[in-house]
């Protein structure tokens, strides 16, 4: 039987959220939270609070905002209020159900580690950190176990739910991710990401063959107008986004691309490649298709009653290399994560058929 396909599910308000909302008028039950916005985020208030408070559902946060529990610069705000540098956000919110990330013995492929940070080759189907409905089985749980086994630490960062996390990869994207072990290493590495001095290189297998060997995709991105769980090219109101691509191999009806994102927008590579008509193989969210051996080689035998499984059951996207400066020795570093088995198998089949 083939592996179960990935399905995106929208999260609704939890029972705990509803009970907490009913308790809103009782001041003694509320926590007062305050955030100071340091950068010009151009992000809606409800989306910002969802990211900062992952243990509360977005629908509950919107109800709290409508009830007047959220202030921006000491004035009642709307869910659609855009946050800018210098804003202060205040929120009175019912205490969340207490969740704690616990160590779990989940395999980790450590590419590099010293006293300040480590680099991990993240496997597919692994969330980076706990979120609504996914409190276990994440990279954070694996890192906590690794730290306990090696007498190591993880940075606290800006969010206690995401110790050590400087940047993220999508659940089904594999490859390099840097993890800070100390707070000082965290802000030094995070600063390199913010200044865009870290050079990131991805590998992707896409449908079709781009007309140009090299090009830059310059297309602003924003939330999809019809599905807030997705992103899309938005010429009006989108945030600037640039991706440079280089064609490494051609297979007739598909290609291996090397990608260098110049910005770091959510789903940027996936949306940009779909935008130019070359979605990533397996990325069904953005127009890609799962490829079976028959799709690639053509029928070589009579049809079988057994299901034909795809060669790869996720988007064929891998964070391959990182070039950056060590946060303490200031030496230039270059780390590389080997391709996972499913992408190697897909490439092997494509190279054997020229498709």
How many beta carbons lie within 10 A of that of residue 133, not counting itself? 9
Residue 292's alpha-carbon distances to 256, 282, 336, 348, in angstroms, are 17, 10, 29, 13
DSSP for 285-321, written as a single string:
GGT-----HHHHH---SS--SS----S-SS--EEEEE
Short-list 144, 135, 198, CA closest to 166: 198
Question: What are the catalytic residues?
Answer: 170
Q: Are strands 242-250 and 254-261 parallel, antiparallel or unpaired?
A: antiparallel
Q: Contact, 247 vs 214, CB < 8 A?
A: yes
Residue 262's alpha-carbon distances to 15, 37, 138, 188, 254, in angstroms, are 42, 24, 27, 19, 24
Residue 321's alpha-carbon distances to 111, 171, 336, in angstroms, are 11, 18, 4
Q: Distance between CA atoms of 36 and 296, rounded to whole angstroms?
A: 52
Q: Which long-range contacts (CB under 8 A, 24 or more apart) does 145-152 make?
A: 145/103, 145/104, 145/105, 145/106, 146/108, 146/110, 147/103, 147/181, 148/103, 152/181
Q: Is 74 helix (H, G, I), strand (E, B) or coil?
A: coil
Q: Using CB atoms within 10 A of its CB, is residue 224 exposed (0-12), middle (13-18) or buried (19+)?
A: middle
């Amino acid at each position: 039987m083939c592996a179960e396909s990935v399905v995106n599910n929208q999260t609704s308000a939890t029972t705990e959220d509803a009970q907490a909302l009913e308790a809103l008028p009782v001041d003694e039950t509320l926590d007062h939270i305050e955030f100071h916005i340091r950068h010009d985020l151009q992000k809606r208030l409800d989306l910002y609070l969802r990211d900062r408070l992952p243990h509360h559902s977005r629908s509950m946060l919107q109800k709290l905002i409508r009830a007047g529990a959220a202030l921006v610069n000491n004035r009642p705000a709307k869910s659609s209020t855009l946050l800018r540098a210098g804003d202060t956000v205040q929120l009175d919110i019912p205490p969340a159900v207490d969740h704690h990330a616990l160590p779990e013995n989940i395999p980790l492929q450590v590419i590099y580690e010293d006293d300040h940070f480590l680099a991990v080759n993240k496997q597919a189907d692994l969330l980076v950190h706990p979120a609504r409905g996914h409190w276990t089985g994440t990279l954070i749980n694996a890192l906590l176990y690794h730290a306990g086994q090696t007498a190591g630490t993880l940075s606290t960062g800006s969010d206690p739910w995401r110790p050590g996390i400087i940047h993220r990869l999508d659940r089904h994207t594999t490859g390099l991710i840097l993890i800070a072990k100390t707070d000082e290493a965290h802000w030094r590495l995070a600063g390199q990401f913010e200044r865009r001095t870290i050079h990131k290189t991805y590998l992707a297998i896409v449908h079709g063959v781009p007309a140009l060997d090299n090009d830059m995709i310059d297309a602003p991105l924003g939330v999809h107008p019809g599905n807030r769980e997705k992103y899309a090219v938005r010429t009006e109101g989108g945030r600037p986004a640039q991706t440079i691509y280089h064609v490494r191999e051609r297979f007739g009806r598909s290609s291996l691309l090397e990608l260098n994102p110049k910005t770091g927008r959510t789903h940027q590579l996936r949306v940009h490649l779909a935008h130019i008509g070359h979605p990533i193989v397996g990325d069904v969210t953005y127009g890609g298709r799962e490829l079976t051996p028959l799709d690639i080689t053509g029928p070589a035998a009579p049809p079988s009653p057994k299901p034909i499984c795809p060669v790869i059951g996720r988007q064929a996207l891998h964070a391959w290399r990182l070039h950056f400066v060590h946060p303490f020795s200031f030496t230039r570093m270059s780390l590389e994560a080997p391709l996972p088995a499913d992408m190697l198998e897909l490439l092997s089949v494509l190279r054997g058929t020229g498709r």
